[in-house]
Amino acid sequence: MSVVTRFPPSPTGFMHVGNARTALFNWLYARHNNGKFVVRIEDTDRKRHSEEAVQVIMNALEWLELDYDGEVTSQFSHLDRHAEVAKEMVANGQAYYCYSTPEELDEMREKARAEGRKTFYDRRWRDADPSTAPKDVSPVVRIKAPMNGSTTIHDKVQGEVTVANDQLDDFIILRSDGTPTYMLSVVVDDHDMGVTHVIRGDDHLNNTFRQKIIFDAMGWDVPIFAHLPLLHGADGAKFSKRHGAQSISEFKEMGYLPEALANYLLRLGWSHGDEEIIPRDKAIEWFDFDHVGKAPAKFDFKKLENLNSHYINEADTEHLLKHAKPFFIERLGFEPSGVGLERLIAGIDELKSRAKTLLQFVDEAAFYIKDIPFSYDEKAQKNIDESQDVLPVLLERFEEHDGDFTSDFIQETCKDVADKMREGKLGKVAMPLRAALTGTTVSPSIFHAAEILGKEESCARIRAVL
């Protein structure tokens, strides 16, 4: 069997991180089996449909590098096909027209509640004579659900799950206006697209028993199901806004690398021994259902940050600068180029080793690409104001030096000035130098940074302060 998995998001809002994990697991299982990963936009709810939301979804898949096979399909474009299937089931006796009015349905429910029964539709039109149908009511189409016995789903994650058939109602598959319901559309599309494995959140498990009725009624192969545990916050509650970022775009804007987020999402509910750092090629090689846990996974931002720190430190320069570029433009108004880019690249290893997010990386790298004059933050300005006697001495010592402008020379000079002017306290000299050269009090080693800036630029920055 050639494996086909699918990712069928509804374009009604942002791309939730839980949906992204579902997409990742579907993608990994397909790639692991040399199968296909297809994308279907479930856009039948036209009132809530948004083309902008579709683009958000596609952007998220692209950012996470989850490539798909074939064209993206629209569920809305298949409505006629879905309606055909409903009518075919009626013709085959697997479904029926129901003429009950909304008022009659309300009356049924109220009576059932009063008698302590389930509020299911009472199936009065299931075997009724069609000739008794009222002329002025547009009927819905209901499936003929099994009324006895039980239905079992052999789930690849949840195991064997059984539901008594008296828990299943004759649900609607075609509305009175001729439009199909979600329950019908998803089954028809999964069949027509050749989907072999349905991998989704376990909040869909109840839907699976109803969808199986349609598969069985049409005589179609039932896909293999795998229902993933949902994501929870650190407090054990369902992951929501109050726990922090929810959408992929938010994580992107917070400065996480896509490979770090993908690695973290993979480890939320799946494991391979004690491995924490799992490159994409290994994820494809190792992924299976046997190591997907049944318990909800807790989202831990600290662990994600640690993973991100690792991936930033390991990233090659081109890849890192590609993902950092939007942050440079947003925070500085321009991207690194020319001499500034050369300086940044020269100091990039230390910048990478310090950064937990791309925001931190950009903020600490900014001084390399800034031109004089630039602003100084409050703490930097305080250091400068308190060191008006130290900075002129440093400037003089730097300007008169005719050897190589190395970090060792810069550090020794600062130590000497500290011994003579600040009772040997190196920080009382290094901090104002950092403030003058970077505009901030947080940066990589200022001695190394000054060497990268060079004698001419370092002196120019001190003169600008003075």
For position 116, which CATH number holds?
3.40.50.620
Residue 372 to residue 367: CA distance in whole angstroms? 10
The list of the chain residues with pLDDT below 50 reads none
Residue 1's pLDDT is 75
In a domain, 187, yes or no: yes
DSSP string, 24-55: HHHHHHHHHTT-EEEEEE----TTT--HHHHH
Residue 243's pLDDT is 66
In a domain, 9, yes or no: no
DSSP state of 1: -
Into how many domains does the chain fold?
2
In a domain, 269, yes or no: no
Closest Cα partner for 84 from 184, 224, 153?
Answer: 184
In a domain, 142, yes or no: yes
Asked if 121 and 105 touch (Cβ cutoff 8 Å), the reply is: yes
Residue 241's pLDDT is 61
Given 241, 325, 425, 428, the catalytic residue = 241
For position 421, which CATH number holds?
1.10.10.350
Residue 64 to residue 258: CA distance in whole angstroms? 5
Distances (CA, A) of 3 to 7, 196, 288: 14, 6, 13
DSSP state of 7: E
Residue 355 to residue 327: CA distance in whole angstroms? 14
Q: What is the pTM of this model?
A: 0.92
Please confirm, yes or no, whether 370 is among the known catalytic residues.
no
Backbone CA torsion sign across 80, 85, 89, 95: negative
Average pLDDT, the chain: 94
In a domain, 102, yes or no: yes
Give the 3-state secondary structure of residue 160. strand
In a domain, 15, yes or no: no
The 10 Å Cβ neighbour count of residue 30 is 27
Asked if 104 and 121 touch (Cβ cutoff 8 Å), the reply is: no
In a domain, 257, yes or no: no
Last residue of a domain, one of 172, 202, 228: 228
Tell me the angle at which helices 427-438 and 407-421 cross, rounded to the nearest 10 degrees.
130
Q: List the end-to-end C-alpha distance of the chain, in Å, as a whole number.
A: 75
- Write out the residue range of the structural domain in which residue 420 sits: 378-465
Residue 431's pLDDT is 97
Residue 385's pLDDT is 93
Backbone CA torsion sign across 413, 415, 416, 418: positive
SS (H, E, C) 208-247: HHHHHHHHHHHCCCCCEEEEECCEECCCCCECCHHHCCCE
Residue 244's pLDDT is 59
Last residue of a domain, one of 228, 253, 283: 228
**pLDDT per position as a tens digit, 94-150:** 999 999 999 999 999 898 888 888 888 999 999 999 889 998 889 999 999 999 999
Residue 306 to residue 332: CA distance in whole angstroms? 26
The CB-side HSE value for 279 (13 A sphere, CA atoms) comes to: 4
Burial 440-460 (b: 16+ CB within 10 A, else e): bbebbebbbbbbbbebebbbe
Assigned token pair, 442: 């947080």
The 10 Å Cβ neighbour count of residue 420 is 12
Last residue of a domain, one of 165, 195, 228: 228
In a domain, 461, yes or no: yes
